[in-house]
Amino acid sequence: MIDPILWDGETLQLIDQRKLPLIKEYVTCRGLDEVCEAIRNMTVRGAPAIGVTAAFGFYLGVKEGLNPEFVAEKLISTRPTAVNLKWAVDRMKGALKNGENLEEKAKEIFFQDISINIKIGEYGAKLIESGFNILTHCNAGALATAGYGTAVGVIRVAHEQKKDIHVYVDETRPYLQGARLTAFELNELGVKNTLICDNMAGYLMSKGMIDFIVVGADRIAKNGDVANKIGTYSLAVLANYHGIPLYIAAPFSTFDPTTETGEMIRIEERDAKEIREIVGVKIVEDTQKCFNPAFDVTPAVLVTGIITELGIFKPCELFESYYKFFGGKDEC
């Protein structure tokens, strides 16, 4: 597998996910501006990976002598939906306040992400039986994290346990994270998989060809509503109708107790160029009006369960567990 994030003590190396799987090259970030641009232009993407990248970006910005609050605000403004970014920046701000070594704190966040992902995979794999046909959407694998994966991490552990599984991979328009990244990762892991267009998922469900759905998340609200890649809500509605379990695989850093419901989550709208072109090839005129929200929100009622590093919870149990493990008081 390719390492999505590399740190050599001076520079941050990020695999350019815009060019995978056909071209495998790294982008070098030497300072805050380059890190922010890499997050903004999706050289790096995936909520946990963005968080780890932001941690190193904070260190580089402070090292440049920039005001820490300016550094934090600039990083947080790059991608508004994924909460892991702010979570990582807040941890770095706390480390600075406590006089901790910022480089070591960023490295700690990096390695912690991998260990958390492995735990998520181990819990999630318990839900998967040999013979399952699994559907996943977007990319929640090694490339979306520090190097292991959340939703794909669940699949990865099940495969390592020698379970006979097969994965249907949604291509995930318009950015094609499923086609370019998830299928690529599964092939690297030796997991049997089939790529499908997004609008084929309902047909497969109607024919009994899907047993289990697992996806990642970019932010989970206090009531269990889930923001994830656009198209997740459609899958959840279809899964509910067909009686197919749909699970979210995400670390607790993706949970946001300050956001009451999914309606409060700001949905990033990206450049129309991503719709007008496919991998750089224009398919409509530049004058064609487009709408390109990057995420949608799936109501908690449509989510079977949420797989975390601390176990599997129903959406309404999530924040009761959050406060139990991380402090504070509230009601589910």
Q: Give the residue carrying structure tokens 């805050």.
A: 32
CA-based nearest residue to 142, from 313, 305, 315, 4: 4
Residue 218 appears among annotated catalytic residues: yes
Per-residue exposure over 125-152, b if at least 16 CB sit within 10 Å of its own CB, e if not: bebbeeebbbbbbbbbbbbbbbbbbbbb
Catalytic residue among 113, 170, 198, 218: 218
Tell me if 155 sits within 8 A of 247, measured CB to CB: no
How far apart, in whole angstroms, are the C-alpha atoms of residue 274 and residue 270? Answer: 8
Closest CA to 68 of 12, 50, 60: 60
Q: Dig out the tokens for 323 from the structure.
A: 């406060």
**CA pair distance 227, 230, nearest whole angstrom:** 9
**How many residues are present in the chain?**
332
Structure tokens at 331: 């009601």
Other CB atoms within 10 Å distance of the CB of residue 199:
12
Q: Is 58 helix (H, G, I), strand (E, B) or coil?
A: helix
Q: Are 71 and 34 in contact (CB under 8 A)?
A: no
DSSP string of 98-125?
TT--HHHHHHHHHHHHHHHHHHHHHHHH
Task: Look up residue 201 and give its DSSP letter.
Answer: H
245: which 2 tokens? 């379990």
Q: Are 113 and 123 in contact (CB under 8 A)?
A: no
Q: How far apart are CA 220 and CA 83, in angstroms?
A: 8
Q: Tell me which residues are annotated as active site.
A: 218
